[in-house]
Homo-oligomer: A and B are copies of this chain.
Amino acid sequence: MTDPRPLMETLDEQACWTRLQNSEFGRLATAAGGQPDIFPINYAASGRSLLFRTAQGTKLAELADNTAVAFEIDHYDSEGGWSVVVRGDAQVLRTPAEIADAEGAVSLRPWIPSVKPFFVRITPTAVSGRRFQFDLDTTLEGTL
C-alpha cells in the first residue's frame, strides 16, 4: 500500500534498447506458411538493429518464406521482471561488405560449436517493453 511504484509500467524505447544492448540471448518467432515457430537464439544489438548467426536449417528456411519476425528478451526473479519485444523484418546478409560490417559491429560471445555461417539482421519496425512487480497478495481470481 505504501509502495508508490506501479505494478506494471511501460518501458520507453531507450529503456528497451538499453536492455537489448545488455542482453545476448532471446527468442525469435517466425510465421512461415501461417505456422508460428519459436527459436532460442544468441544475438547482438548493432546500432538500432539486431544480428544473429544461423546454419542452413529451419530458421533460414522459415525466413525465406516470411521475413516478418518477432523477437523477445526477458528477465524474471522472485520480485518481478521485464520483457522487451521487437517486431521487424529479418534479412540474410548476402554481400561481403554487409557480412564484414556485421562481423565488425558486434562482439559475439562464443557459444555452442556448431557452424553457423549465415548472418541475419533484424531491422525493427516496432519495439515495446514492460516491467512489473509480482503482487503475491493478489488472489487467484484476478491474476495470471
Alpha-carbon distance A35/B89, docked complex (angstroms): 10
Q: What residues make up the interface of A, taking CB atoms closer than 8 Å to B?
A: 7-8, 25, 27, 29-31, 34-40, 42, 52-53, 66, 68-72, 74, 76, 81, 83, 85, 87, 108-116, 132-140, 142-144
**Sorted from nearest, which 7 A-B pairs have the closest CB atoms?**
A31-B31, A29-B29, A31-B36, A29-B36, A113-B138, A29-B38, A38-B70
Given A76-B25, A138-B113, A143-B36 contact (CB < 8 Å):
no
Measured between alpha carbons, how far is A81 from B27 in the docked complex, in Å?
14
Q: Within the oligomer, what is the number of copies of this chain?
A: 2
- How long is the Cα–Cα vector from A7 to B138 in the complex, in angstroms? 42
Distance in Å from the Cβ of A9 to the closest Cβ of chain B? 11
Q: Flag if A36 contacts B30 (CB, 8 Å).
A: yes
Judging by beta carbons under 8 Å apart, are B113 and A7 in contact? yes
Say which residue of B27, B116, B136, B140 sits within 8 Å of A144 (CB atoms). Answer: B116
A122 CB to closest chain B CB (Å) equals: 11
